[in-house]
Amino acid sequence: MIVGSTSALTALADTPMIKIAVGEARVRKSVVAFPTIIASRDTEGKLRSVREISMSDLDFSGLFDFLNPAAFVEDGAKAGVTPGTFKLVDWSSIGAEFLVKGKGEVVGNNVTLEIYLYSVSTGKQLLAKRYKATEDSVRKMAHTVSNDILFALTGKKGPFTSKVAFVSDKTGKKEIYVMDYDGHNPIKVTSKFSHAMSPGWSADGKQIAFTAVTKNGKNVRNHNLFVYDLPTGKINMLSNRQGINSGSVFSPVGKQLALTMSFPGNAEIFLMDPVSKVVQRITNSFGLDVDPSWSPDGKWLAFVSDRSGRPMVYKMEASGANVQRLTYAGYYNATPSWSPAGNKLAFAGWDAGKFDIFIMNTDGTNIERLTKSMGNNEDPDFAPDGYFIVYSSNRKGKKNLYITNVDNTTHRQITSDFGNCESPRWSPAN
């Protein structure tokens, strides 16, 4: 378990000192110094990973540059971590704008860590927080530190403790997996399906809906809808109506699911109550209506339809009313994902013989390309902070998962040697 601030430290992380704009411009990176965490000689190595993981998280945000320790002039053996125990001039003289200092100890299986964040130019302390964890939770502790530093500097919570659900054929069968946002600690959550697909998180992060091709009582293969309960590990069927039961997404403000079903004879979008399993049809067109995505307030759904001849992105009220076409360019647009901030949609668009990732305003204006000339890039999904997007790409042959930010200043591969990975879906913040 990780414990946040205690009475011994001032919980300044709850009062953000906003210094850096996020997702509003291609900003200049801020220069950060993060010296080695102070610890006893026999525990220093155990705490080194906290610093390395936190620096990796923050570096990936695209907002920070870290000073090389070779440039440090402070005598680390004599300097402390609290105000008055070190000289800020030692850091301003080498160009640091922000300074992260830490000290910790490991006693038995328990790790205690104190982290302090300073503005070098003003001398203000921006964060002072104590963390406690067991040794097997140190990685989560480090991600929590990253979140707190990012919030202290930007006023926005990071996604570093969140999870990603995805599909992989690593075992020779397509199954659902869950891993840390950075690709670590993958766990297979399904095992009896040969073809599982389309994971979707519940609003509380405790359930994952997914579709699997299974046989019904008449020995006929069908795309059936299931839900996996993370706390218990149990899998229950939600729908085995004839045809497609797929692309399910939980409402962010309730328990309803939006999904595509084809039992009426055509692929349409429905709402489902996962308890009663009662469904309500909300589209009715001659085309195929697929890939629903909720707005963060639960009032709208983005989706894909070929009712105009080619698959394009549309949106409608959650009741099915007020349908609006959003994209007109390209040959095929797919898998829209609504930003948690409510102001952007990401989608995959077919252009020049390949799929690429694009973002646009929710009225269809201001389309921006995030990938180009890097293979097929598909299935984008926003992180809970709205700044990062995870997606699938075959740029190196097999499909792997990548993350970029909306500023399009950084791209990171997060899966490797894990078969073909696709359909990533980011968990809610935790």
pLDDT tens column, 135-165: 899 999 999 999 999 999 999 889 999 999 9
The pLDDT of residue 312 is above 90: yes
> For the whole model, what pTM was predicted?
0.91
**Each residue of 27-54: b (16+ CB within 10 Å) or e?**
eeebbbbbbebbbeeeeeebbeebbebb
Please name the residue that has the structure tokens 């926005």.
Answer: 156
In the prediction, which pLDDT does 215 show? 80
Alpha-helical runs (H) found in 261-362: none
pLDDT exceeds 80 at position 244: yes
Phi first, then psi, for residue 18 (nearest 5°) are: -70, 120
**What pLDDT, on the 0 to 100 scale, is given for residue 410?**
85
What's the pLDDT score for residue 8? 43
Nearest one of 190, 204, 284, 281 to 237, comparing CA atoms: 190
pLDDT band, residue 358 (cuts 50/70/90): very high
Position 177 pLDDT exceeds 90 = yes
pLDDT of residue 4: 45
Lowest mean pLDDT among 44-48, 298-302, 406-410, 412-416: 44-48
Q: Which residue has the tokens 């490991």?
A: 106
pLDDT at residue 111 tops 70: yes
- In whole angstroms, how far apart are CA 118 and each of 64, 65, 92? 15, 16, 11
**Given pLDDT bands bounded at 50, 70 and 90, which one contains residue 10?**
very low
At 44, is the pLDDT very low, low, confident or very high (cuts 50, 70, 90)?
confident
pLDDT in the model for residue 26 = 54
Q: In the structure encoding, which two tokens stand for residue 47, read together?
A: 């705490």
Instruction: Report how far apart, in Å, the C-alpha atoms of 83 and of each of 11, 56, 119, 418 are.
Output: 15, 26, 12, 46
Mean pLDDT, residues 110-125 taken together: 96
The structural domains of the chain, ordered by start, are: 12-154 (3.40.50.10070), 163-426 (2.120.10.30)
Q: What is the pLDDT of residue 84?
A: 93
Can you give the pLDDT at residue 25?
Answer: 46
For the record, the structure tokens of 32 come out as: 């950060």
Nearest of 137, 142, 177 to residue 56 by alpha carbon:
142
Q: Residue 388 above 80 pLDDT?
A: yes
Please provide the DSSP assignment of 106-129 as one string. EETTEEEEEEEEEETTT--EEEEE
Q: What local confidence, expressed as pLDDT, does residue 303 receive?
A: 98
Which of 7, 60, 69, 78 lies closest to 34 in space, CA to CA? 69
